[in-house]
């Protein structure tokens, strides 16, 4: 019974992983050439809140209101990093600079609530995706090495859950070898895949962003 339960758990875990990878591939193809994320307005903007639970939405509102002294649905950009900290989101100074360029393009120094909500919703969604992928890889990384072999990744993605086509897997393996190889102390490749770096590659996250998420 325990073996059957374990196989079922593995199947669900890898099914989620392959679903994430397929969704990521479709997203990257659809977003090609569109540039970086920008806040949306109106119904499209409010729809971002739909991916948040009621508890998450309440936490975000409470954290924002602590600094919205006048109740105008806006806060000073200087308070933004503190709001993120209140939400237990690790954000680097480099990320803050990038966020302010997006949230306050006019340089007025203020951040609107709806724009902030979109940003946090997107970040939390990315965090959950990172957590799911790390969990999946760690199921197969018994020795906690932080890496998997190409054959292990190929086997996982072609034999469990929502199986990927062989050609899709090979595309990811090529990308992993180029952008996320596991390295020896002298900088040469070991032939293994650093799956933390690999997750960063497929989700288009910098090393610093990945470090803040796991």
Asked whether residue 124 carries a pLDDT value surpassing 90, the answer given is no
Residue 100 CA: distances (Å) to CA of 40, 46, 81, 105: 15, 20, 10, 7
- The whole-model pTM stands at 0.65
Asked whether residue 15 carries a pLDDT value surpassing 90, the answer given is no
* Residue 132 falls inside a structural domain: no
* Residue 103 falls inside a structural domain: yes
Parent domain of 25: 2-32+141-211
Q: Quick one: average pLDDT of 48-67?
A: 84
Q: Which helix (H) or strand (E) holds 40?
A: none
pLDDT number for residue 128: 82
Taking the CB of residue 172, how many other CB atoms lie within 10 A of it? 22
Question: 3-state DSSP call for residue 147?
Answer: strand
pLDDT number for residue 19: 53
212 closest CA partner among 45, 154, 203: 203
Please report how many Cα atoms fall inside a 13 Å half-sphere around the Cα of residue 17, on the Cβ side.
31
Residues 158 and 113 in one domain: no
Residue 16's domain is classified under what CATH number?
1.10.238.10
Q: Which residue has the higher pLDDT, 170 or 26?
A: 170
* Residue 136 falls inside a structural domain: no
Asked whether residue 91 carries a pLDDT value surpassing 70, the answer given is yes
Given CA atoms 131, 137, 139, 144 in this order, what sign does their dihedral have? negative
Asked whether residue 112 carries a pLDDT value surpassing 60, the answer given is yes
DSSP assignment, residue 191? Answer: E
Q: How many percent of the chain have pLDDT more than 90?
A: 25
Given CA atoms 205, 131, 120, 50 in this order, what sign does their dihedral have? positive
Taking the CB of residue 181, how many other CB atoms lie within 10 A of it? 18
* Residue 37 falls inside a structural domain: no
46 contacts 114 by C-beta, under 8 angstroms: yes
pLDDT number for residue 48: 54
Domain boundary among 96, 126, 156: 126
* Residue 99 falls inside a structural domain: yes
Pick the range with the lowest mean pLDDT from 71-75, 160-164, 168-172.
160-164
- In whole angstroms, give the CA distance from residue 166 to residue 5: 27
Domain boundary among 66, 94, 126: 126
* Residue 175 falls inside a structural domain: yes
Q: Quick one: average pLDDT of 53-67?
A: 91
Beta bridge partners of 20: none
Asked whether residue 29 carries a pLDDT value surpassing 90, the answer given is no
pLDDT number for residue 61: 92
């Amino acid at each position: 019974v325990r073996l059957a339960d374990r196989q079922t758990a593995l199947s669900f875990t890898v099914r989620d992983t392959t679903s994430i990878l397929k969704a990521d591939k479709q997203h990257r193809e659809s977003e090609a050439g569109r540039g970086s994320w920008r806040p949306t307005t109106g119904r499209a903007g409010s729809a971002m809140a739909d991916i948040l639970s009621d508890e998450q939405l309440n936490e975000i509102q409470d954290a924002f209101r602590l600094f919205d002294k006048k109740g105008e649905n806006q806060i000073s950009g200087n308070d933004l990093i503190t709001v993120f900290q209140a939400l237990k989101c690790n954000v680097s100074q480099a990320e803050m600079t990038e966020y302010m360029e997006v949230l306050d393009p006019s340089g007025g120094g203020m951040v609107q609530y709806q724009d902030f909500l979109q940003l946090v919703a997107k970040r939390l969604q990315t965090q959950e995706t990172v957590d799911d992928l790390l969990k999946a890889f760690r199921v197969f990384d018994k020795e906690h090495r932080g890496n998997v072999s190409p054959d292990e990744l190929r086997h996982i993605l072609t034999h469990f859950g929502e199986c990927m086509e062989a050609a899709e897997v090979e595309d990811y393996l090529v990308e992993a070898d180029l952008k996320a190889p596991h390295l020896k102390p002298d900088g040469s490749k070991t032939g293994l895949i650093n799956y933390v770096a690999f997750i960063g590659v497929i989700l288009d996250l910098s090393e610093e962003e990945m470090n803040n998420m796991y």
